[in-house]
Amino acid sequence: METATHLSIRGIAKTFPGRRGWTDRLLKKTSPDFVAIADINLEIPPNTFVSIIGPSGCGKSTLLSIVAGLLPPTQGSVFLGDRPLTQPGPDRGVVFQNYALMPWMTVAENLHFALETVFPTMSLAERKTRVYEYIELVGLKGAERKHPHELSGGMKQRVGIARALAIDPQILLMDEPFGALDALTRGFLQDEVERIWEQQRKTVILITHSIEESLLLSDQIVMMTRGPAAGIAELLTVDFPRPRQRADLDQYPGYHRLKARLEEHLSRETRAIEAARVR
Amino acid sequence: MAVEKLTPASLRLSEDQKALLVTLAIALVLIGFWEWGVSQKMFLPIMPSATDTAKEFWFWISNPFFDNGPNDKGIALLLMVSLRRVLSGFAVGSLIAVPLGILVGLSPIMSKAVDPFVQILRPVSPLAWLPLGLALMRDSEATALFVIAITSIWPTLANTKFGVSHVDPVYVQVARTLGASHWRIILKVILPAAAPSIVAGLRISLGIAWLVIVAAEILLSGGIGYFVWNEWNNLKITSIITAILIIGLVGLGMDRLFGLLERWVSFGQRPPTE
């Protein structure tokens, strides 16, 4: 039976139209349509952590934007339970790659803005409690009144995660959230996300480049083929027991098999992209 | 970077201190040449000496509030007339330019539709509007306000449009994923994000309004601009030089105030005009 938080991606395709108008033709500036992703089908059961991994430019972020409702698909639809998702909405919390904090708002104000937008009738006292609770959850107690430019990249992304979680979405969408961070901070935040996820167990879709990251965090890994017309190559199930520790990740049975599989896929796709570029 | 020399800290001067010394040296040379040149009769006889000008300057700023009739008022009273005109005209112009700038910044169609008017009217010297103002309003006060309002529109309009249309789209995306309404996005996201550009535009507008008011007042009457012209008719060069310095200082002060405001709305980003 499908529950209300079962996410279903059905036949999603996205084509970015090229320039073909008569003015473009007159100026000889036409360009062909670009098929970013073609026919993606994915069923995500509730409380599942899913990573989407694939070579650069394979349309991972396009897919996430479609699920977020920020980009309309050319074909297909996304359902949350039996409700089609066509608009952005607070049932999905989004964590952006470049944090996307409002620089004129303090840490607390960024969270207040989100809560006030989603729950306009919530009392100020309740909102304050909630803001404080989530700032504490991501370990930023004491930084409430700082502006984003006073924070490190890792701290900014904690605020981004707190903001996405504070509105209590059914699904958390993360678009390469640690891509802009240095390796140490990235590892540290991955551990934090693992810890937070153990507490909240929301459905998460994480776009990533990192094999380690996907193995540490996910229940399922979606491997995408290279673009154009990217699709799903294979689904991997990661059934390591939780909570997981980075240090003994490679002790779990199957770790090396999964890692080799992911590495093989990614290097094959990346090599093909490079080869296509040379030609 | 220059190699640090081992000098005792007490003898080392910061860059700012060195620059100040050079500034003072330049001023000394210029004033010295002026004083010496007048004493040697190098200039026309109408040229006053630096010391006479300094005395006159002191007279005006030590006694700014006297009022001996329409053509003989203290410098503060004259400035207040000019400032009142500039600030009210600037307020009216800004109240037109900021909302219009937001509209054209948000809507590419409105932007293209309004652009021809802006392109034609913007290069026109504000003083060209003055006779039109007098003809339509038959009142020098209203005409000054009209001319300053038009002067204040263009930089603010251009900067507001730029700021609004260049808001990082990711901020808008954040608000959209939260389900924010269009109004909420404009008020809570686009306006604060564009605030540094808008304030930069206001700052430029106010600076130009202050330039224009002096010229406008020469043609109208009252205020510091009229004073400059009146003192020319009286052949009092010392008063003219005094007025020039004071106009400059007041302009500098207003610019600095807007500079602070700009810094205040910029939150760690580099303000657009620095």
pLDDT, tens digit (0-9, with 9 covering 90-100), for A22-72: 877 788 778 888 888 988 999 999 999 999 998 887 888 899 999 999 999
> Is the minimum CB–CB distance between A88 and chain B shorter than 8 Å?
yes
How far apart are alpha carbons B272 and B197 in whole angstroms?
6
For residue B230, tell me if it sits in a domain.
yes
Which of A90, A114, A147 is nearest residue B268 as measured by Cβ atoms?
A147
Rounded Cα–Cα distance for residues B237 and B36 (Å): 18
Q: Are strands A203-208 and A171-175 parallel, antiparallel or unpaired?
A: parallel
Tell which B residues from 145 to 204 touch A, by Cβ distance under 8 Å.
Answer: 170-171, 173-180, 184, 188-189, 192-193, 195
The answer to whether the Cα torsion of B164, B180, A176, A73 is positive or negative is negative
Q: How many domains does chain B have?
A: 1
What's residue A67's pLDDT?
95
* pLDDT for res A2: 54
Confirm whether B66 is domain-assigned.
Answer: no
Which residues of B are less than 8 Å from A98 in CB distance? 170
Question: Is the pLDDT reported for residue A173 higher than 80?
Answer: yes
User: Quick one: closest CA in A to B191, which residue?
Assistant: A104
Whether B266 has a pLDDT exceeding 90, the answer reads no
Q: For position A1, what pLDDT does the model report?
A: 45
In tens, the pLDDT along A68-96 reads 999 999 999 999 998 999 999 999 999 99
Check which CATH number belongs to the domain holding B168 and give it: 1.10.3720.10
* Among A residues 1-60, those touching chain B with beta carbons less than 8 Å apart: none
In a domain, B45, yes or no: no
Q: In percent, how much of chain B has pLDDT > 70? A: 94
- For chain A, percent of residues with pLDDT exceeding 90: 61
Residue B149 lies in a domain: yes
**Contact A90/B at CB under 8 A:** yes
Tokens representing residue A234 in the block: 């294979």
Q: CA-to-CA distance for B173 and B178, rounded, in angstroms?
A: 9
User: Which ipTM value was assigned to this complex?
Assistant: 0.87
Residue B44, in any domain of the structure: no
Q: Is residue B6 part of a domain?
A: no
Q: Which residue of B has its CA nearest to A149?
A: B268
Residue B116 vs residue A227, higher pLDDT: B116
Cβ-based neighbours of B274, under 8 Å, separated by 6 or more: none
Q: What pLDDT, in 10s, does the model give residues A193-249? A: 888 888 888 899 999 988 999 999 999 999 999 878 888 988 999 999 888 888 888
Q: What is the pLDDT of residue A31?
A: 81
Length of chain B in residues, anyone? 274
Residue B29 within any structural domain of the chain? no
Q: Which residues of chain B lie closer than 8 angstroms to A147, CB-CB?
A: 267-268
Which pLDDT does position B179 carry in this prediction?
A: 92
Whether the CB-CB separation of B178 and A114 falls below 8 Å is answered with yes
Asked if residues B217 and B147 have their Cβ atoms less than 8 Å apart, the reply is no
CB A13 within 8 A of CB A74: yes
Average pLDDT value over all residues in chain A:
90
Residue B76 belongs to domain spanning: 72-266
Q: How far apart are CA B145 and CA B88, in angstroms?
A: 7
Residue B185, pLDDT score: 96
Residue B170 covered by a domain: yes
On chain B, the residues whose CB falls within 8 A of the CB of A85 are: none
d(CA B274, CA B272): 6
Quickly tell me which residue has 């608009």 as its tokens: A87
pLDDT at A242: 85
**Which tokens belong to B245?**
């310095």
**Helical segments of chain B, H only:** 15-39, 50-62, 75-106, 108-121, 129-137, 140-165, 169-177, 182-185, 191-219, 223-233, 237-264
The pTM for the full model equals 0.84
Closest residue in chain B to residue A111, using alpha carbons only = B178
